[in-house]
Structure 1
Amino acid sequence: MAKQRITAQAGHFYAVGVGPGDPELVTLQAARLIESADVIVAPQSKNSQTSLALAAVEDFLHDQEIIVLRYPMTRENNKTRQRWGELATQVAELCQQGKAVVQVTLGDPLIYATSSYLLAALGALLPPEKLHLTPGISAFQMVASRFGQPLTLQEDRLQIMAATDLGAVEQALSGCETLVLFKAATALPELLELLKRHDLLARASLVCAGGQGEGERVVADLSRWEPQELGYMTTMIIHLGQRGWQEL
């Protein structure tokens, strides 16, 4: 018996991962939800002129209402919670009007995603049966595919973290076999120096704006790094080794 295709239902909210920015990496389920939605909510950084998530799903847009939400990028917790509460109220009102609302988010909705904040705020405004998640391909999966190196084998440990805390990054180097760093451009000179001290530059690679056309930057071996401008969406993978069988 064939599985029934999922479509966006009236009065429901869907946090939909649309992959790292390449339209070819949008899943079938994500495409169907976007196509059947009444309202598409797209996050946009206050420092950006466009919504990358919205650009990734242009092929699936027709006559849906489009709402671009500028989201906060601040560590002021009270201010951030207040803003997400305001956005959640706006979305909840649309659902209560009988609209099917889809928020598109880059990558996966639960990995460093704006949708996580919105979902938390919506939990107090809508019943849980009306809140849905659709996973998406995360940036680190796309980056790994560029180089063809396995992220894990056997009991290898994979750790994912932001590159913003260099002390935590250095500690992580001894706690896993593969380390994934998001936001790697934020402190790249210091990060490169850290890897150099640990003799890990040749084991590290990065991709900036993967799948986003001419803006993509790929560096397979950071021991051959040549300074260049990198954007916020830069992901680094450091292959630290594999666990030996004697350690298991």
Structure 2
Amino acid sequence: MADQGTFYGLGVGPGDPELLTLRAHRLIGQAGLVAYPAAGDGASLARRIAAGAIVPGTEELAIAVPMCTERAPARTAYDEAARTIAGHLADGRDVVFLCEGDPFLYGSFMYLFERLSAAHRCEAVPGVTSLTACAAALGRPLAARNDVLTVIPATLPEERLRAALDATDAAAIVKVGRHFDKVRSALDATGLAGCAMIVEAATTEDEKITALTDMPEGERPYFSTILVYRGGEAW
């Protein structure tokens, strides 16, 4: 690997470009190729966050990952992207992959890391997560003292959501999107609706904070994280 480039997975944070770390900023500016996940129309939040660090003229690779429950289309997209990135690394060029939040917390970098790390130098550069950004926005700790914090994907069946909520002191519910109604039902069923706060578009100019109990029926906050704190001993 001596003459090969390095593949960096960069956490670019939840939305505010000023939360990009100094190291991530430097690596983006030095990269031979900047890659990032993108929607079908080419739009990319990760790319938008890091735009100010990308040197004009730098080659870019937008990786369109199908947003569907079937895994085969996404695997194909990552296979093709890995081949392209491997070619640049073999030519001695460093490649950065921009990841919202942190690359190893539900980040798509992990799928490319799995495909490339056996034959190439790969490194993850941590970023500010949506969980900590939402806690900061609320002005409320994620957990304290001996509290157990559970990170729960909203994509789980409602029965598993309820079980996870019942078993923890504090929770961060991620990947809410179209699963909001199911999450709301689980929180109601566990008696935690009054302890839940919704943070939409954390750290951006569109940031919005709403208590779950104040969210009108029928509304579904898409780009959101829900933080739940059961309470207990006094802070």
Q: Same fold (TM over 0.5)?
A: yes
- 1:73 equivalent among 64, 67, 70: 67
Paired letter, 1:38 = G
- 2:49 equivalent among 50, 56, 70: 56
CA positional deviation for 1:113:
0.9
For 2:124, what is the secondary structure of its paired residue? strand
CA positional deviation for 1:78:
4.0
Q: Counterparts of 2:115 and 2:230 in 1: how far apart (Å)?
A: 38
- 2:212 equivalent among 198, 216, 222: 222
Structure 2 gap segments, 5+ residues each: none
Q: Counterparts of 2:39 and 2:19 in 1: how far apart (Å)?
A: 22
Asked if residue 115 in structure 1 is aligned to residue 109 in structure 2, the reply is yes
Q: Which residue of the partner structure matches residue 11 of structure 1?
A: 5
For 2:177, what is the secondary structure of its paired residue? coil
Tell whether the 8 Å contact from 2:9 to 2:125 is kept in structure 1 after alignment: yes
- 2:193 equivalent among 181, 193, 201: 201
CA positional deviation for 1:190:
2.8
Asked if residue 192 in structure 1 is aligned to residue 184 in structure 2, the reply is yes
Please, what TM-score do these two structures have when normalized by structure 1? 0.85
CA positional deviation for 1:18:
0.4
CA positional deviation for 1:26:
0.7
Asked if residue 135 in structure 1 is aligned to residue 129 in structure 2, the reply is no
Tell whether the 8 Å contact from 1:177 to 1:243 is kept in structure 2 after alignment: no
Paired letter, 1:40 = V
Q: Structure 1 187/76 Cα, relative in aligned 2: closer, same or farther at 3 Å?
A: closer
Tell whether the 8 Å contact from 2:162 to 2:189 is kept in structure 1 after alignment: no
- 1:32 equivalent among 26, 37, 46: 26
Q: State the identity %.
A: 28
Q: Counterparts of 2:42 and 2:233 in 1: how far apart (Å)?
A: 45
CA positional deviation for 1:13:
0.6
Q: Counterparts of 1:152 and 1:101 in 2: how far apart (Å)?
A: 36
Instruction: Give CA-to-partner distance per residue, 1:154-191, whole Å, 9 cap, x none.
Output: 22111112112222110011221111111223222232
Paired letter, 2:67 = M
Asked if residue 90 in structure 1 is aligned to residue 80 in structure 2, the reply is no
Give the number of aligned pairs. Answer: 229
